Structure 1
Amino acid sequence: MSIYIFDGTMTGLLSCIFRAFQFKEFDVQVSTDANVQTGLFAEVIDVASNDEHAQRVWQGLKLKASDSAFKQFYYAFLSEQQQAFQHCFNFAIYVFQQQRDVSKNYGHADVLGMSQWAKQVGREKHRMEAFVRFKKCQDGLFISLVSPDFNVLPIIERHFKARYQDQRWLIYDEKRNFGIYYDLHKVHQVQMDAGAIDRQTASGHSQSFCIELDDEEVLYDQLWKDYFRSVNIEARRNMKLHVQYVPRRYWRYMNEKTL
C-alpha cells in the first residue's frame, strides 16, 4: 500500500490521481498529514502539485462523470476532511476505470460517501447565505466575519454578488485566513491580518470590529432588533424547533441574537 501526501489543494489531490494511474498504484491512502501513521509495509510518497497533471484529470472527470457528480466531487473536497479526500480519490479511480458512467452508482461506497460529504457542505453553504450579517464601515464597505465548518466561501460568492451588486462588501473567513471582496465589479479573494479585527465580544455573541463603523450602524442595528422583537410571538416560542433550524453556532452572526 502507498500513502500519498499532498498539500491540501485541489491541484494536489488531482495530481495524486494522475500519479496513481501513471504508476498503476490504486491501493492508495491520500492524506495532508505528513505525520500520518503508516503500516509496516506502507510506502509514503510526497506528491507535488502539478498544474498540467491536475488539469488533465479535471477535464477527464468532466467527461467521465455526470454534472451532479462533478459538483459533488468539488463540494466534498471543500469539506477539507481526510475521509472526504479519500472518497474523492477513490471515486475518481473508480470512474476512470469504468467504460460507462458509474458516477451515480450509490451502491459504491465512495460514490455514496462523496455525495454525503457534498450534502453537508451544501447545507453549510445555504446556512452561510442565510445567516451572514454585515456591518457598515465609515468608508462604505460592508464587512462580515465568519467561521464556517467547511470552506464554503468559494461557493457563496455568486449568491452575495447577485444579491448585493450595489455595495462593496467583504466576507472574511477567520478560520482559514482569507476572504472574498466585491469591488462593485468583480469578486476577489483577499488575505488580511485577522488580528486587526476583534472576533467577538466577551459575551461570545456579537461581532465587533477594530475599524471605524458608520455612525448610523448602531441605529440600524437597533432598528433590526426592534423589528425582530415586534414580529416575534413570545407565546408561540419553541426554542427546540428554533435551534433545529438556526443552530446556536450561527447566532454570533445575527444582530437579533446580540445582547
Structure 2
Amino acid sequence: MVIYVFDGSFEGFLTAIYESYYNKEKPDKIVAMDDYVENLIDRPIFIETDEIKSDKVYAGIKNKISTNALKKVYHVFLSEVMEAPTVIYHYLRLGFKIGNKVDLNLMDDWVLRMDKINQQVASEKHRMLGLLRFQLVENDLYYAPLAPDHNIIALMANHFAQRMSDQKWMIHDTKRCIAVVYDLKEWIITPIDLPAPPVGKEEYLYQQLWKEYYQSIAIKERRNPRLQKRCMPVRYWSFLTEKK
C-alpha cells in the first residue's frame, strides 16, 4: 500500500492532498508522522510541508466545494482520530467531483464517516464551553485547564475572546501541552509545558463559595448520578471546581 506520511500539521496534510493530485497518485492512507509505524508491506512517501501548495488546496476546497466543507475538514482534522486524514482525503476527492452537493451524498461511506467524526468534535466543543472553569491566578490572568479528547481549544477561542474581551485569559490543554492565550487584543496558540499556576487567596475564597453554592442547591431526593455522568463525563471532573 502507498502511505502518505506528513508532519502532523494542517498545512502538511493539505500539502499531501496537493501532491496526490499533482502526481496523479491515489494513496491508500494518509497518516501523521506520529501515527506511522514502519513495516515491510507499505511504501511510505514522506511529504514535506509547503505553505504555497497547502494554500492552493485550502482555496480549492473553499471555492470548488464550499466554505462549510472547509470548516468540516478542519474540524475532522482536529479530531486527531487516526483515520481522519484518510477519511478527509476521500471526502475531498468526491467533493472536487460534485462540488457543494457532497454533504448531501449520504449514501457514501466516507461522507457518513466525516459527519460522524465532525459531530464528535462539535459535541465536545459544545460541552466544554459549558464545563470550562476559569480561575484567577497571578498577573490578573484567568486560567482554565482542560484535557479534551479532541484538539478543540482553537475552536473555543473566538467564543471566549468575545465574552471575556476585557480580561487576560489562558485555556491550557494539559494533554497536548498547548494553550490559547488572549492579551486583550488577540489570541494565539502556543506550546506550553508548565504546571497549573497557584491561585490567590481571593480566588480560593470564591472557589469555596462556589462549592458551598453547588452543595446548597442540590436536592438529595433528585440525585441522578447516571444522568450527571452523561451530561458531565467523569473524565472532565478533575478540572471542575465543584468536583475537586
Instruction: Please state which band the TM-score falls in when normalised by the shorter chain.
Output: over 0.9
Distance 2:16 2:74 in 1: 15
Aligned CA distance change for structure 1 residues 60 and 142 (closer, same or farther; 3 Å): same
More helix by share: 2
Which residue of the partner structure matches residue 254 of structure 1?
Answer: 240
Distance 1:128 1:37 in 2: 39
Deviation at 1:73, TM superposition (A): 1.1
Aligned CA distance change for structure 1 residues 99 and 256 (closer, same or farther; 3 Å): closer
The answer to whether the 8 Å contact 1:88/1:114 transfers is yes
SS at match of 2:143: strand
- The aligned runs of 1:140-219 (5 Å cut-off) are 140-194=140-194, 197=195, 209=196, 211-219=197-205
The answer to whether the 8 Å contact 1:157/1:180 transfers is yes
Which residue of the partner structure matches residue 223 of structure 1?
Answer: 209
5+ long unaligned stretches in structure 1:
198-208
User: What is the CA deviation profile of residues 78-122 of structure 1, one whole-angstrom value per residue up to 9, with x for unaligned ones?
Assistant: 011221111001111222234673243121111111111111011
Aligned CA distance change for structure 1 residues 239 and 34 (closer, same or farther; 3 Å): closer
Aligned CA distance change for structure 1 residues 99 and 246 (closer, same or farther; 3 Å): closer
Distance 2:72 2:106 in 1: 12
Deviation at 1:145, TM superposition (A): 1.5
For 1:72, give the aligned amino acid.
K
User: What is the CA deviation profile of residues 58-83 of structure 1, one whole-angstrom value per residue up to 9, with x for unaligned ones?
Assistant: 11111222333322111100011221
Query: What is the count of residue pairs matched by the alignment?
Result: 242
Deviation at 1:45, TM superposition (A): 0.6
Which residue of the partner structure matches residue 203 of structure 1?
Answer: none
Which residue of the partner structure matches residue 111 of structure 1?
Answer: 111
SS at match of 1:216: helix
The answer to whether the 8 Å contact 2:61/2:69 transfers is no
For 2:23, give the aligned amino acid.
F
Which residue of the partner structure matches residue 94 of structure 1?
Answer: 94
- The aligned runs of 1:6-25 (5 Å cut-off) are 6-25=6-25
Percent identity of the aligned residues? 33
TM-score scaled to structure 2, two decimals? 0.93
Aligned CA distance change for structure 1 residues 184 and 216 (closer, same or farther; 3 Å): same
Aligned CA distance change for structure 1 residues 48 and 55 (closer, same or farther; 3 Å): same
Of residues 221, 226, 232 in structure 2, which corresponds to 1:240? Answer: 226
Distance 2:100 2:191 in 1: 43
Distance 2:100 2:168 in 1: 47
Deviation at 1:152, TM superposition (A): 0.2
The answer to whether the 8 Å contact 1:76/1:88 transfers is yes
SS at match of 1:71: helix
TM-score scaled to structure 1, two decimals? 0.88
